[in-house]
């Protein structure tokens, strides 16, 4: 067994040595049915895939309720524009200095419609369906493990029977050789005994190989690598044979309530019904609301053109003021003080300060908001199409539930009657086994005293082997019938 497999088995609880067994082989491990189920719940790939679906549906429920809250978005940026000119129609616009700028925007938006109102119910139904699927997968996995566990035990019982047959054939060979030495039989009997012994040894090897194969399949279901030597893992659990005492009507009622596949389909049908209602809500009007706050900055990299323009504008204002005082004011009338219109050093500093705004000295824009109500009148029959598809899907889901209910009743009834027949078959096979064993004993004694032939002994041995094999098959057919009934009902029955 490799170090990696040993560590993995130790991690999942298989690395504890067997207790109370004085003849246990070094390195032997035990695996109970409860341990196998616990390991599979953590490691089975299909179960883990099903469990992963729950995360998405849980966030789907949160997202459905969050749709009633406004979405918030924040954006910002910086920009650069070089100096130059651009022409629009016959107008030329000249920018004497390059500029840098920044901006921000905070927005709120909310959209409500009939589908928004129906979405929480649909999301909850989908999440419930995912939970039901996971529960069903866990129950089905546990049932599959029980059946495979029984398959290993049955294969091991066949090994014991094959080993017993080897022991018998070795005794028959010694008996044939002893009788041949005293002249009571022929060499043909010895050769026949040798052939029978070889065939039983081959059957023993095949039975042991079958146990290995069944254990490998068990570890595959568990979802962990099998040890290099599967024979080092033993299955200690036993299952008693008791007369079935279950009531068919009660089992049918439990199956209708607890069958995992039926529960999953019903949850899926509920989700499909919610989807149908959501599709019909498209006939309702929709409402959209948006609001926003924004601001910007713009800073000239070269402020000299701005200063020149301001100085030129101030000079023009002074000239206009002087012209007014000289030619437009009545003689002796009050004249304006034109000196205050000049561009001073303080004005220059104010202009420079106002230009120094990048990147966070924003100029706010007016708050904006809008509210829109819409009701589509004609959508090229897209709404009736979606409703028809959703209704068909919901009807199919309900029919699938009804079909599964009928199948569950059939499966439970069939498994119940199969269990009763399997239990009765055990008693019949037990009588046959006892009779065949007695026949083999008598045939052996007859051959020992020389009143019977070796072919009679082989026939009795074959009949005993077949009866013992049929008895083992009957016992495990009983256990498999219980496992099948448990799978159909949806819970353990013992």
Total number of domains in the chain: 1
Q: Is the pLDDT of residue 371 over 60?
A: yes
pLDDT at 152: 94
Separation CA 79–CA 100 (nearest Å): 6
Q: Confirm if 221 and 39 have CB atoms less than 8 A apart.
A: no
Determine contact, residues 422/478, Cβ cutoff 8 Å: yes
Min mean pLDDT across 59-63, 176-180, 214-218, 370-374 is at 176-180
Sign of the dihedral through C-alpha 446, 450, 455, 458: positive
Helix (H) or strand (E) holding 233: strand 233-234
d(CA 334, CA 340): 16
What is the pLDDT, as a whole number, of residue 155? 93
For the cut 90, the answer to whether the pLDDT of residue 222 exceeds it is yes
Q: Is residue 13 part of a domain?
A: no
What integer pLDDT is reported at residue 370 of this predicted model? Answer: 93
Contact 326, 338 (CB under 8 A): no
Q: What is the mean pLDDT of residues 328-343?
A: 78
Q: What is the mean pLDDT of residues 80-96?
A: 76
Is the Cβ–Cβ distance between 135 and 262 less than 8 Å?
no
**Selected residue with higher pLDDT from 19 and 123:** 123
In a domain, 474, yes or no: yes
Q: Does 319 fall in a domain?
A: no
Angle at CA of residue 430, ends 429 and 436, nearest 5°: 85
Confidence band for 403, pLDDT divided at 50, 70 and 90:
very high
pTM score? 0.70
pLDDT above 50 for 18: no
| Cα–Cα distance for residue pair 292/370, rounded to 1 Å | 9
Distance in angstroms (rounded) separating the CA atoms of residues 303 and 291: 36
- In total, the chain counts a number of residues equal to 494
| 361 domain residue, yes or no | no
Q: Percentage of the chain surpassing pLDDT 90? A: 31
Of residues 26 and 129, the one with the higher pLDDT is: 129
Contact 159, 205 (CB under 8 A): no
**Whether 282 contacts 387, CB under 8 Å:** yes
Q: How confident is the model at residue 26 (pLDDT cuts 50, 70, 90)?
A: low
Position 19 scores a pLDDT of 35
High-pLDDT (> 70) share of the chain, %: 94
CA distance 207 to 309: 105
Quick one: pLDDT at residue 207? Answer: 92
Of 153-157, 230-234, 302-306, which gets the smallest average pLDDT? 302-306
Going by C-beta distance under 8 Å and a sequence separation of 6 or more, which residues neighbour residue 404?
A: 259, 261, 262, 265
Quote the longest CA-to-CA distance of the chain.
171
Position of tokens 């909310």? 110
Predicted pLDDT of residue 27 = 59
The domain containing residue 421 runs over which residues? 31-69+114-284+381-489
pLDDT, position 25: 55
Whether the predicted pLDDT of 42 surpasses 50: yes
Q: CB of 236 within 8 A of CB of 28?
A: no
Are residues 99 and 300 in contact, defined by beta-carbon separation less than 8 angstroms?
yes
pLDDT score, position 5 = 34
Query: Residue 332's CB: how many other CB atoms inside 10 A?
Result: 6
b vs e for 41-79, b when ≥16 Cβ sit within 10 Å of the residue's Cβ?
bebbeebeebbebeeebeebbeebeebeeeeeeeeeeee
Taking the C-alpha atoms of residue 384 and residue 389, their distance in angstroms, rounded to an integer, is 9
What pLDDT is stored for residue 303 in this prediction?
A: 84
Report whether 129 contacts 270 (CB < 8 A).
Answer: yes
| Closest by Cα among 201, 224, 164, 185 to 42 | 224
CATH classification at residue 451 = 1.20.1600.10
- The beta strands (E) that lie in 244-358 are given as 286-300
Supply 23's token pair: 């003849």
Please check whether residue 246 lies inside any domain of the structure. Answer: yes
- pLDDT at residue 457, as a whole number: 77
Mean pLDDT of 463-475: 87
Residue 204: its pLDDT value, please? 92
pLDDT in tens, 452-466: 777 787 888 888 888
* 364, β-bridge pairs: 295
pLDDT tens digits along 285-313: 888 999 999 999 988 888 888 888 888 88
- Model confidence at 21: pLDDT above 60: no
Cα dihedral 78, 82, 86, 91, rounded to 10, equals: 80
- Mean pLDDT comparison of 4-8, 215-219, 279-283, 477-481, highest-scoring range: 215-219
With respect to residue 417, please indicate whether it lies within any of the assigned structural domains. yes
Inside any domain, residue 43: yes
376 found inside a domain = no
């Amino acid at each position: 067994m490799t170090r990696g497999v040993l560590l993995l088995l130790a991690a999942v609880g298989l690395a504890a040595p067997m207790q109370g067994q004085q003849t246990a082989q070094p390195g032997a491990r035990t695996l109970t049915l409860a341990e196998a189920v616990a390991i599979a719940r953590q490691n089975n790939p299909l179960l883990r895939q099903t469990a992963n679906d729950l995360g998405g549906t849980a966030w789907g429920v949160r997202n459905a309720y969050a749709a009633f809250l406004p979405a918030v978005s924040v954006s910002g940026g910086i920009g650069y524009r070089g100096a130059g000119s651009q022409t629009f129609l016959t107008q030329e616009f000249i920018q004497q200095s390059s500029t840098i700028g920044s901006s921000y925007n905070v927005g709120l938006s909310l959209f409500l419609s009939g589908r928004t109102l129906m979405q929480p119910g649909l999301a909850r139904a989908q999440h419930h369906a995912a939970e039901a699927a996971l529960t069903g997968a866990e129950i089905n996995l546990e049932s599959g493990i029980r059946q495979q566990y029984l398959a290993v035990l049955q294969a091991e019982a066949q090994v014991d029977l094959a080993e017993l047959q080897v022991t018998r054939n070795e005794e028959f060979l010694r008996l044939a050789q002893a009788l041949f030495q005293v002249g009571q039989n022929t060499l043909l009997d010895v050769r026949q005994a040798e052939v029978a012994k070889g065939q039983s040894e081959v059957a023993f090897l095949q039975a042991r190989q079958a146990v290995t194969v069944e254990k490998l399949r068990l570890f595959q279901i568990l979802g962990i690598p099998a040890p290099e030597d599967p024979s080092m893992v033993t299955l200690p659990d036993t299952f008693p044979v008791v007369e079935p005492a279950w009531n068919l009507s009660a089992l049918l009622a439990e199956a209708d309530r607890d069958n995992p596949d039926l529960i999953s389909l019903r949850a899926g049908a509920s989700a499909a019904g919610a989807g149908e209602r959501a599709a019909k809500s498209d006939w309702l009007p929709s409402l959209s609301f948006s609001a926003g706050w924004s601001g910007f900055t713009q800073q000239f990299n070269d402020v000299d053109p701005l200063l020149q323009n301001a100085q030129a504008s101030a000079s023009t204002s002074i000239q206009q003021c002087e012209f007014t005082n000289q030619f437009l004011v009545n003689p002796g009338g009050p004249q304006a003080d034109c000196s205050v219109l000049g561009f001073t050093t303080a004005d220059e500093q104010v202009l420079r300060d106002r230009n120094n705004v990048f990147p966070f000295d924003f100029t706010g824009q007016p708050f904006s908001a809008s509210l829109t109500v819409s009701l589509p009148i004609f959508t090229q029959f897209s709404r009736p199409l979606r409703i028809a598809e959703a209704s068909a899907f919901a009807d199919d889901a309900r029919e699938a539930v009804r079909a599964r209910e009928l199948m569950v009743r059939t499966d439970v009834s069939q498994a119940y009657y199969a269990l009763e027949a399997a239990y009765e078959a055990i008693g019949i096979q037990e009588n046959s086994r006892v009779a065949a064993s007695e026949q083999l004993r008598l045939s052996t004694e007859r051959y020992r005293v020389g009143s019977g032939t070796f072919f009679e002994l082989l026939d009795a041995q074959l009949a005993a082997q077949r009866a013992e094999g049929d008895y083992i098959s009957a016992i495990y057919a009983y256990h498999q019938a219980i496992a099948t009934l448990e799978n159909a009902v949806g819970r353990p029955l013992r």
